[in-house]
Amino acid sequence: MQENVEACRILLEINPTLLNQTNYDGITALHIAAIRNNSRTIEYLLSNGAEIKPDHNGLYFSNYAITRQNEAAVKEIVLHERWPEIVELLSNTIYCPFKELIEYLPEICLTLFDFSILQPPLKNRNRQPTEPLQHLKIMILHKRDKLLAHPLCEMFLKVKWMMYGRWIHLIITVYYIILNSAVTFSCLRQVPLIMDYNNNNQVDHCVQNLYSQTNESSFNRRILIFILFVSLSNMFTQCLQIISQRVKYFKHWNNHFVLIFQSLLIINSVISLIGNNQLYSAVLAIIVMFIAWMNLLLQMIRSQDFGIFIIMFIHVTATVAKLLPLSLYLLIGFATVFRQLIQLPDEEVFTSLSDNNKIQFRNCFIEYPSSLNHSMNNITKINRRQFNMLSDIGLTFFDTLMMMMGEYKRTKIIIQSYLEDQVSAIPYPKLTFIFYIAFIILIPITLISLTIGLAVGDIDKARRSAAQELIYRQVYWLDSLEANLPRWLYAKVCVQKWLLKPARPNLPRYERSRQELNKTVELLNQRLNIIYKKLEWFNYQLHQIMQKLSIQTMETLLDTGSYDDVG
């Protein structure tokens, strides 16, 4: 490589025009050095004023070095004094060196990580406005999580959040709280579901006499008009985003949720304003009220304080949802079994029969007549009601689901039937007891332990992925905010540098100077003690070496006697 530099020096001394000479492809000496990964040659050519120009394909020498991942050449380029010139020339173009470094050599970015990378200048060399946070979005696109988790990147986002992000987020939060309060107020004043909606005339009569002061008041109508106006404005904003983003808009499930919420809110407001007292309007009001508060929860996901917990909750919920097929199979299996095992005979049908029919049908069931005369009297009304719930397949599924969640209200009845042999309550108590034991082993012990284990084992992964997703959301949210700001306001929020000052106590100057002096003296004493201990250790090691090598020291004794009589 030194020979290449010497050859370049000799050639340039003979013919200086070779410095910027191009071949038939428009390639200069800088291009060749970048392709060959000759870092010393690149340094020599740049220092001698080589012109930075593209070849016939529009590629610069830095593009060849970065895309070919020539680390030595790239390090020499980024550390050279002409690097700012290269950045200014190529920034905000398709050949931006920062974009290529993030894509091909993210490790090199760490050597020149500063706010100029994270926040590009307001305008490039061609007076064109730059896209805000474009480099951060490229990091997200190429999954450069190490760069995004860098302390400088975290500080950059924190500065943005502290400067204007938290205030805008606070305004949005207050806005949605007011909207949700209005929606909740209007929904709670709706006609309740207990009304007989099948009788339209009776419903209108009841509404006019019982709910006219609340449902048709001027204050309630003003709230509904406010909700309708706000929801129409939000829907108009969403339509503008659909026009600008098109298919990209529908790739995020949050946008689907917002569209559904705004559509239902508009429909509910219109139905309430026209006074349509139907069952579907009351049900729709309940659904809209629930979705409104869930929408506020999703809006809080961008918060830097507790947004990570909302994301972790979503991730853990998704992990637990993977077990739904297994839980569903177990639910169907045990629910159908329990329905057949735990079921009382239909007492009303049997008692309604004539005496002749009772005699004919008395042997249809196990000890059926005795159950009606004796055993049924021993079963409490509460137990009979619980067993009768299992006659309906829907209630059986619900009851089994509650048992899966830990509601074991059948345990006492099953054990009592097993011990007392109450055939009238449970025809085969032993078989029922076996299935009940299997249910307890498979559901509360195995399935719940598996679910908890997956949730706990996934919590660390969920925390890391939640932190990354929170950064992603903040970047895109801040980018969308800055893209819509006027240029003069964007110039104020554009952060090129940030001065971090340590907190200083508010003390008088003489006390502060005395404390600083005491700290300095204490620090010097600590350093002196460390040096003294090291000298003692070196002295000890030296003595040990001398003893092993049998080296004796010559000691010089100073005679300090009195020689007054001499001379």
262 in any annotated domain: yes
289 lies in the same domain as 418: no
Check if the beta carbon of residue 400 is closer than 8 Å to that of residue 331: yes
Three-state DSSP at 399 gives: helix
180 and 230 together in one domain: yes
Amino acid at 546: M
The CA distance from 228 to 226, in Å, is 5
Other Cβ atoms less than 10 A from the Cβ of 271: the count is 19
Let me know whether 336 and 277 are in one domain: no
Q: Looking at the structure, tell me whether residues 341 and 216 fall in a common domain.
A: no
357: which 2 tokens? 């029919």
187, 281: one domain: yes
pLDDT of residue 378: 45
367 and 444 assigned to the same domain = yes
Answer whether residue 71 is part of any domain: yes
Residue 151 lies in a domain: no
DSSP calls for 323-355: THHHHHHHHHHHHHHHHHHS----HHHHHTS-H
Q: Is 554 left (phi over 0), alpha (psi -120 to 50) or beta?
A: beta
Q: Give CA–CA dist 326/321, Å, rounded.
A: 10
DSSP state of 167: H
What residues pair up with 123 in beta bridges, in sequence order? Answer: 129
Based on the domain organization, do 265 and 368 belong to the same domain?
A: no
Q: How many domains does the chain have?
A: 3
pLDDT tens, residue order, the chain (567 aa): 555 778 888 887 888 887 888 888 888 888 888 888 888 888 888 888 888 888 888 888 889 999 888 888 888 888 888 888 888 888 777 888 888 888 898 888 877 777 667 776 665 554 455 677 888 888 888 888 888 888 888 888 888 888 888 888 899 889 999 999 998 888 887 766 555 556 556 655 565 555 555 556 788 888 888 989 999 998 898 888 888 888 888 887 788 888 899 899 998 888 888 876 677 777 888 889 999 998 888 888 888 777 888 888 888 788 778 888 888 888 888 888 877 777 655 555 556 666 666 555 555 555 444 444 444 444 444 444 455 555 667 777 877 777 777 776 666 666 665 555 554 456 677 787 788 888 888 887 788 777 777 767 667 777 777 788 888 888 888 888 887 777 777 777 776 666 666 555 555 555 556 677 778 888 888 888 888 888 888 888 888 787 777 766 555 544 555 555 544
Of 189, 213, 140, the C-alpha closest to 478 is: 140
* pLDDT at residue 224 in the model: 87
For residues 47, 53, 58, 62, the Cα torsion angle rounded to the nearest 10 degrees is 10
* Domain edge (last residue) among 403, 433, 457: 457
Phi-psi region of 406 (alpha: psi -120 to 50; beta: other; left: phi over 0): left
Angle between helices 429-440 and 324-341 (to 10 degrees): 170
Flag whether 169 is in a domain.
yes
Do 281 and 326 have their domain in common? no
Q: With H, G, I as helix, E, B as strand and everything else as coil, classify residue 96.
A: coil
470 in a structural domain: no
User: Is residue 43 a contact partner of residue 76, using CB atoms and an 8 Å limit?
Assistant: yes
**pLDDT of amino acid 352:** 64
Q: In this structure, is residue 467 part of a structural domain?
A: no
Residue at token pair 């593209």: 54
Question: Position of tokens 């929606």?
Answer: 183
Q: Are residues 212 and 324 in the same domain?
A: no
Q: Is-contact 163 498, C-beta < 8 A?
A: no
| Domain closes at, from 305, 339, 371 | 305
- What backbone phi and psi angles, to 5 degrees, belong to 352? -80, -10
pLDDT at 424: 47
41 and 95 within one domain: yes
In a shared domain, residues 169 and 103: no
CATH label of the domain that carries residue 75: 1.25.40.20
Half-sphere CA count of 416, side-chain side, radius 13 A: 11
329 with 418, same domain?
A: yes
Domain finish residue from 413, 438, 457: 457
The answer as to whether 194 is a domain residue is yes
Considering the domain boundaries, does residue 170 fall inside one?
yes
* Residue-range definition of the domain harbouring residue 443: 320-457
